[in-house]
């Protein structure tokens, strides 16, 4: 087995939501999160200062259907200290037979990540997110 890279634990969680505005209001007004980034009408990223909580409008809500998504977990993220650690994880996973759902990519906000799925099908993101890493 290849040498496993390190990570800093779960500091990022992404949920699909039927009502993005209601969720954003609840988490900011009642739980004290602040909006870190809202790149478009279907996505918002919140933080308490040491983490990142993402809400993604569900496909059902975008299509104006009234049914709620049965699986609210979009993915969860394992934080790494450096952008190059994302690539090290991708190499490690591939070398150990784990298929990547998405290869390493640098996002619009400067974060870098890759995705894979666990045995139950939960999507896991290895992520370097500069605002969170700075709080470690």
What one-character DSSP code corresponds to residue 81?
A: S
Q: Is the pLDDT of residue 69 over 80?
A: no
Q: How many CB atoms lie within 10 A of CB 135?
A: 11
Residue 71 three-state SS: coil
Q: Is the pLDDT of residue 71 over 70?
A: no
| More confident site: 62 or 4 | 4
In this prediction, residue 90 carries a pLDDT of 96
In this prediction, residue 46 carries a pLDDT of 94
pTM: 0.72
For 85-119, how does the pLDDT look when each residue is reduced to its tens digit (9 = 90+)? Answer: 999 999 999 999 999 999 999 998 899 999 999 87
List of domains in the chain: 10-133 (3.10.180.10)
In this prediction, residue 64 carries a pLDDT of 58
For 2-38, how does the pLDDT look when each residue is reduced to its tens digit (9 = 90+)? Answer: 789 999 888 889 988 888 999 999 889 888 899 999 9
Contact (CB, 8 A) for 81 and 92: no
């Amino acid at each position: 087995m290849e040498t496993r890279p390190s990570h800093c634990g779960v500091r990022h969680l992404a949920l699909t939501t039927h009502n993005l505005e209601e969720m954003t209001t609840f988490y900011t007004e009642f739980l004290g999160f602040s909006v870190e980034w809202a790149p478009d009408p279907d996505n918002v990223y919140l933080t308490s200062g040491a983490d990142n909580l993402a809400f993604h409008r569900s496909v059902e809500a975008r299509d104006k259907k009234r049914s709620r998504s049965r699986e609210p977990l979009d993915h969860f993220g394992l934080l790494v200290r450096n952008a190059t650690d994302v690539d090290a994880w991708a190499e490690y996973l591939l070398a150990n037979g784990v298929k990547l759902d998405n290869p390493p990519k640098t996002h619009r906000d400067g974060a870098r990540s890759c995705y894979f799925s666990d045995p139950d099908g939960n999507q896991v993101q290895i992520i370097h997110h500069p605002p969170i890493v700075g709080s470690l």
